[in-house]
Amino acid sequence: MNRPTERSPDRREFLKRAAAGGSTVVAAAPYLITSTALGAAGAVPASDRITVGFIGVGGHGIARNLRTFLAQADAQPVALCDVDTRQIAKALEVVRKQRGESFSCQTTQDWREVIARSDVDAVMISTADHWHVPMSVAAIRAGKDVICEKPTLTIAGGRALVDTVKRYGAVFQMSTEDRSIPIYHRMAELVRNGRIGKLQKIYVQLPGGPGNPGDPKPKPVPKELDWEMWLGPAPWKPYRAGLHRSHWRWNRDYSGGNLADWGGHQLDTAQRANDTERTGPVEVEGTGKRHAGGLYDTYYEYHIICRYANGVEMHIDSGGTGLKFEGSEGWLGNSGWCKPIEASSKKILGSVIGPEELHLFICPQGEHRNFLDCVKSRRDPYFPAETGHRCCSVAHLGNIAMDLGRKLRWNPDTEEFADDAEANRLRSRAMRQPWRI
């Protein structure tokens, strides 16, 4: 499925021609091609496999993304990339356990080497948040399809991502499982079909944190880590053990905190139920608490109110996970991640969505399966760039409102704040050289 340049022969075309015996290279084919590559024993022929480069193979990158792709017969891992060589070794071990000890592929600390390959169809990006958009955009420009962890880092970055996806007609999936989880799908579908009457209020609970301020003291860079590449477009800072590998999320240079991370889950269902997936609130205000000192500077406690043009008011609060939708004729929601739906009446809970009503898309097999299917069909995946960007924007707007300590008016059409030049400055950040979007 890769889209090679004219000068670089297509790997699958080569294999197809070789398998058909219609090429002069076929003499070498028995030496080069295994029977499983040609589709024997129920295996997907190599020509129908999507070649995937894995960029960022930390905890989530391995446990969730690499392992799930390995379970897809039509996905072929061809590159493992991480700034930390210890993670590359772990990832390679995982692949070998599943694909055989003789498995080998490109391993590198430099993601640009992965997207430069003409035989890579798609990349799975599971890095820290500040790399999501620059890597995605570069990969798309190189002709790849992209599945990338959420969230974005800035509003301007998200818009640039959307524009690039649109420009090239690339398949882009913002990688979350929510649209494959029946509970969240059902909540959105019930609300969209008016089962609680006219939607009036949404209550979203997201985890807070960090619980401690972190140690800001610089430490020597581990020999296995390319710290400069880890930082990438973010402002230069010395290495601190409290950032890599696991706690970078608590620093605004690399993330929007749990508000942005968990927002990528719960805010998506909220926006979907509110039918505002491709727009956003018109007014935002919020208050939050941060640790005064230490290393971490994201809000560990927050309360944000978003008002939408349709009159719906959304409250986002730190403390656990949960959703509640209040309408003119009832409510529904849940308390806790993937917990069962509760509602104001049994009628709502048992309601059947009729064939003539609105049915929202769901892919119970998950975001990775949905992505692979879309790479083949060239359709938008279930959490495409625009929808993902708008979802992340809600979190960014919340952070900006808390940073400035005032109510902000937002125009979701122009993606500008009204009458607030300072707030508008916070939509983007200059990137450290040489990186750009």
Choice between 120 and 273, CB closer to other proteins: 120
Q: Given the structure tokens 């991502």, which residue do they identify?
A: 161
Report the DSSP beta bridge partners of residue 417. 410
Please, what is the minimum distance in Å from the beta carbon of residue 435 to other proteins?
A: 8
Sites of contact with other proteins (CB under 8 A): 3-6, 141-143, 163, 167-170, 216-218, 235-238, 292-294, 297, 403-406, 421-422, 425-426, 428-436
Smallest gap, in angstroms, from Cβ of residue 9 to other proteins?
12
- Tell the smallest beta-carbon distance from residue 141 to other proteins (Å): 5
Q: How far is the CB of 405 from other proteins (least distance, A)?
A: 6
Q: Which is nearer to other proteins, 165 or 259 (CB)?
A: 165
CB 301 within 8 A of CB 288: yes
Residue 226 CB, nearest distance to other proteins (Å)? 16
Q: Which is nearer to other proteins, 211 or 218 (CB)?
A: 218
Positive or negative, the Cα torsion across 191, 196, 199, 200?
negative
Q: Around 145, how many Cα atoms within 13 Å sit in the side-chain half-sphere?
A: 28
Cα–Cα dist 325/339, whole Å: 15
Laid out side by side, the sheet with 322-327 consists of 342-343, 330-335, 322-327, 199-206, 313-318, 301-307, 283-289, 408-411, 416-417
d(CA 273, CA 202): 9
Nearest Cα residue to 225 out of 399, 327, 364, 86: 86
Residue recorded with tokens 């607030």: 420
Residue 176 CA: distances (Å) to CA of 80, 240, 309: 21, 29, 27
Let me know: does 388 contact 174? Beta carbons within 8 Å.
yes
Question: CB of residue 2 vs other proteins: minimum separation in angstroms?
Answer: 9
Minimum CB separation from other proteins for residue 363, in Å?
25
* DSSP secondary structure, 19-44, as one string: HHT-SGGGGGHHHH--TTTTTGGGPP
Of 147 and 188, nearer to other proteins (C-beta) is 147
Cβ proximity to other proteins, 112 vs 303, nearer residue: 112
Nearer to other proteins, 75 or 137 (CB): 137
Closer of 169 and 350 to other proteins (Cβ): 169
